[in-house]
């Protein structure tokens, strides 16, 4: 399966369970693996047939600015749904790390979602 990937994407947003987190921005690190048939774009050298990773990053940034969640699980689910719908992507694997969450470890979530 062909993929377009976006790894180590630093996203700054308001996120967290605790009250003190509701008023500050925190850094998240996203890794996205997006199923996309790359041959048509390669055959024509046409960005219009490619999954434009810049456009994907921009959409996620706009979404993260406009919404606020407590759990990174919720953010992951919403981003996966957004990408499947807006870019017509068949399969999304998304990992979100929250580097500042705890001092003992790097923590986060990973989901895989398919277009239904």
Ligand X SMILES: Nc1nc2c(c(=O)[nH]1)N=C([C@H](O)[C@@H](O)CO)CN2
Provide the token pair at 22. 């509701």
Q: Cβ(10)–Cβ(97) under 8 Å?
A: no
Active-site residue (options: 14, 98, 103, 115)? 98
Q: Cβ(68)–Cβ(15) under 8 Å?
A: yes
Q: How many CB atoms lie within 10 A of CB 114?
A: 11
Among 21, 31, 33, 77, binds ligand X (CB under 6 A): 21
The one segment of 12-20, 36-44, 56-64, 85-93 that binds ligand X by CB under 6 A? 12-20
User: What CA–CA distance (Å, rounded) separates 3 from 103?
Assistant: 33
Give whichever of 9 and 69 is closer to ligand X, judged by the CB atom. Answer: 69
Q: Is 17 in the site for ligand X (CB under 6 A)?
A: yes
Q: Is 98 in the site for ligand X (CB under 6 A)?
A: yes
Catalytic residue IDs: 98
């Amino acid at each position: 399966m062909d993929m377009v990937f976006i790894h180590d994407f630093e996203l700054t947003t308001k996120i967290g369970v605790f009250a003190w987190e509701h008023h500050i921005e925190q850094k998240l690190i996203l890794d996205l693996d997006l199923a996309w048939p790359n041959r048509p774009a390669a055959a024509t050298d046409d960005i219009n047939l490619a999954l434009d990773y810049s456009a994907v990053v921009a959409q996620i940034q706009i979404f993260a600015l406009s919404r606020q969640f407590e759990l990174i699980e919720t953010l992951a689910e919403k981003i996966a749904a957004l990408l499947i719908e807006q870019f017509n992507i068949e399969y999304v694997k998304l990992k979100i790390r929250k580097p500042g969450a705890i001092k003992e470890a790097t923590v986060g979530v990973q989901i895989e979602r398919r277009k239904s």
